[in-house]
Amino acid sequence: MSASGSIFKEGENCWVTSEASYATPLIDCANYYLALHQAIIKAKHSIFIVGWDIDSRIRLLRGKDEAQSDAPSVVSDLLAWKAEQNPDIKIYLLRWDSSLAFFAQREMWAKEVWDEKTPDNVRTELDDTIPMGGSQHQKIVVIDDELVFSGGMDISTNRWDTRDHPVESAEREGPDGSYSPLHDVQIVSAGPVVQRFSELVRWRWLRVAEDNPVTIRETAKNAIDDPLPEAWPDSFEPWFKQAECALARTIPFMDEVEPVQEVRHMLLDLISQAERVIYIENQFTSRNEIAEALNRRLKQKPELNVIIVSSYEPKGKFECEAFWAGRIGFKKILMEGISDDRVVMSYSSITDEFGRHASKRIHSKVMTIDDKYLVIGSSNISNRSMSLDTEIDMVLHGNTEHNRNHIAKVRNDLLAEHSNRTLEAVSSLMREKQPARALMEGQLAHGYVLTQLRDEIFTDQASGKNFFSSLSDPEEPLIPPLPTPGGSIMPIRNPRRRTIMIGIGVLTVAVFAALLLTASHFIPWLSTDNINAFLEESRGTYFALPTVLLVYVVGGFFFFPVTVMSLAVSAIFGPIWGPLYGILGALLSSACMFAIGKLGGNAGLRKIGGPKVEAVDNKLKSSGIVGVAAIRMLPIAPFSLVNLVAGISSIGILQFLIGTFLGMFPPMIAKGLVGDSITQIFRNPSPETISYLVGGIILWGLMIWGSQKIAKRYQARKQAKKTKADECVA
């Protein structure tokens, strides 16, 4: 025990002890994002954001709050606005680098997106220092070194929800469509504890960045009886005052960093202090060591009850066979020799009066020990959170009656939300002899209710010790550290996002090239001579046009050069019908490849391209028909590749086809002269046929040159009009 009576022991179950002058929980993401928005607006000196994810697209405000705010709602717009409004402010964004496993939800080119959307006083870095299989899981925002947000919530997709968690909500939309109700908890704090968080975020920053962040401001060292800091969010009153607290971390073995497992030791020590009620809500419960500690304490204290709230349905095979199977084993250990009346392992769900059903996804990481201790952090009760991921938990000690009452209030408030009761009703239930049993009885229909977990309906794995858990919930890195010539060992990091993307690109190109090579080898008709012969047979028949269209479409799929096809068609069908057939074939082939590009873009290719492709896309949209025509006249990329990229872009198909027609038909006329002249030269060489060939080639070149001049002049005139319009508005 420390001098204050807490169990906090620096260097054993915590990193540091400190005090929070003020602190209040922020329950569910709508409250956190509102508080964060208000604090960012007030920031004057510095903002540090460290997260598993920091998504530039997230709207922090919704509804009336968004409509009435003078500041932007989208987080990237808000930070850019703040940075431009105050050029002296320094903003640091540190996001976990590796994101391949979360491709559908996360921005693949996060750093490039942030760099493009924000001014120079906003710095973005990607943390790639975590060992193989681990993640950067701390979620921290420090503002002006006087205010800190910490807990389980990221600025990420599929997070936002309100405390009433409606069955359906138009605002709950993510990259994959609508998502189910989601529950989470953050805490905002002020006072001396902020200095410790300020030290932590700077340490994290310096591990990956070359530039030194601003020094810690003295305000973080002020006395605990100071007034609320200026950055405190106006909509939230502090619950805790002058609360003793500790910070517990998980740090895996990294370059020149010794691992620490303070979170693990803290949870075990906290459980050993419980007398009446342990309340846990957590995304995962798969750490058997915690289950053993709970079971041991339940046997030591016959009056003790354990109430756990988690999620109901797993997402995907890996989560099911790792964490849900692990929860079966966790429950078996926890319940061994314990009465069912003393333990609740539950989920919160609703079936409303219209018969619509939903269950909450629990993402929070909260624990209360009677009214003595409150944990709000980033750590799941999982193997990886105890040893492999980077974590930070804030533990408040009920060092005064006021703070003890508010620890109980946090627990009761959360249970009231999950069981559709009032705060007073839950407070009364917690005073009964068997609070766990009382909590499960008498719940009302058509509101959220707690139901005992039955994970066996999802998996028959009993322990969670399997292939899936070894990848999803490991205790050690997936690849062990390697010895170095100097005698030390070097941890193997997660592959960098850029490395992964380059590897995917190289593999895609290699596979595509192999397919083309295979096609050319096993498809004997895919050659210039065979195509010419095929077209020659159709000349003078009713099948001439369908044959040409088929050649263009099939050739487009195999990236066969359009110039070769156009010359062949012109040579065979003459200078009049050749260009006409050719342009119809080119338009049909363009439309087919455009459609494939559109489907691929919607499936995620647009995301892989990142901000650079977005910039090209914007130029293509702004230039429109003229831009497409210019690209067609000057073949800077293969015909089929242009069609695919156009489909991935935002340009409309009608604009694209008109631009293709204007860009390709004049050169096709020139190619008709060239192609027909080549045929005539072979059949009847003469000065006349040679002059047609030379004239056609010159005309072709002049059309390319002229189209570029026209496109540049059009763009310059359009830009001048835009500039003039902007000046008029200003």
Q: What is the mean pLDDT of residues 425-448?
A: 94
Check residue 260 and give its pLDDT.
96
Task: Report the C-alpha gap between 299 and 276 in whole angstroms.
Answer: 12
pLDDT attached to residue 639? 72
Q: For 104-128, how does the pLDDT look when each residue is reduced to its tens digit (9 = 90+)?
A: 567 877 888 899 999 999 999 999 8
pLDDT for the residue 623: 64
Residue 685 has pLDDT above 70, yes or no: no
Tokens of 240: 């805790």
DSSP 3-state assignment of 412?
A: helix
**pLDDT over threshold 90, residue 711:** no
Q: Which of 231, 63, 209, 73 is nearest to 141 (CA)?
A: 231
CA distance linking residue 492 with residue 469, whole number of Å:
20
Encode burial over 92-127: b for 16+ CB neighbours within 10 A, e otherwise: bbbbbbbbeebeebbbbbbbbbbbebbeebbbbbbb
For residues 363-374, average pLDDT? 98
Residue 730 has pLDDT above 50, yes or no: no
pLDDT-based confidence at residue 296 (cuts at 50, 70, 90): very high
- In this prediction, residues 395-403 reach a mean pLDDT of 97
In the predicted structure, residue 571 carries a pLDDT above the cut 80: no
Burial of 214 per CB tally in 10 Å (0-12, 13-18, 19+):
middle
- Greater confidence (316 vs 599) lies with 316
- Nearest to 279, CA basis, from 426, 388, 490: 426
pLDDT at residue 516 in the model? 53
Give residue 421's pLDDT. 96
Cβ-based neighbours of 133, under 8 Å, separated by 6 or more = 384, 388, 471, 474, 477, 478, 479, 494
What is the average pLDDT across 257-265?
Answer: 94
Cα–Cα distance, 389 to 261 (Å, whole number): 10
Most confident of 513-517, 553-557, 692-696: 553-557
Q: What is the mean pLDDT of the chain?
A: 84
CATH number of the domain at 16-169+176-457, please?
Answer: 3.30.870.10
Q: What distance in Å separates the CA atoms of residue 118 and residue 460, rounded to the nearest whole number?
A: 50
Instruction: Work out the average pLDDT over 407-435.
Output: 97
pLDDT at 73 (0 to 100): 97
Classify burial at 495, counting beta carbons within 10 Å of its beta carbon; exposed 0-12, middle 13-18, buried 19 or more. Answer: middle
Q: Quick one: pLDDT band at residue 590, thresholds 50, 70, 90?
A: confident
* pLDDT of the residue at 678: 47
Cα separation, 590 vs 558, whole angstroms = 13
Quick one: pLDDT at residue 545? 84
- Which range is least confidently modeled, 295-309, 394-408, 475-489, 490-504? 490-504
- pLDDT value of residue 621: 62
Stretch among 181-185, 244-248, 679-683 having the lowest mean pLDDT: 679-683
Alpha-carbon Rg of the chain, whole angstroms?
A: 33
Specify the range with the lowest mean pLDDT, choosing from 6-15, 434-443, 458-467: 458-467
Share of the chain above pLDDT 70, in %: 77
Per-residue confidence at 219, pLDDT binned at 50, 70, 90?
low
State yes or no: pLDDT of 562 exceeds 80: no
pLDDT over 70 (residue 463): no
Q: Percent of the chain beyond pLDDT 90?
A: 53
**How far apart, in Å, do the first and last CA atoms of the chain sit?**
66
Give the burial class of 357: count Cβ atoms within 10 A of its Cβ; 0-12 exposed, 13-18 middle, 19 or more buried: exposed
Nearest to 660 by CA among 636, 637, 638, 643: 643
512 pLDDT tier (thresholds 50, 70, 90): low
**pLDDT per position as a tens digit, 608-661:** 555 555 555 665 666 667 667 766 766 556 677 777 777 777 778 887 888 878
pLDDT over 60 at 689, yes or no: no
What are the backbone dihedrals phi and psi of residue 666, each rounded to the nearest 5 degrees, phi first?
A: -60, -45
The domain spans of the chain are 16-169+176-457, 523-729
**Token duo for residue 590:** 């363009």
* Strand, coil or helix: 90: strand
Helix 687-729 × helix 653-683 angle, to 10°:
160
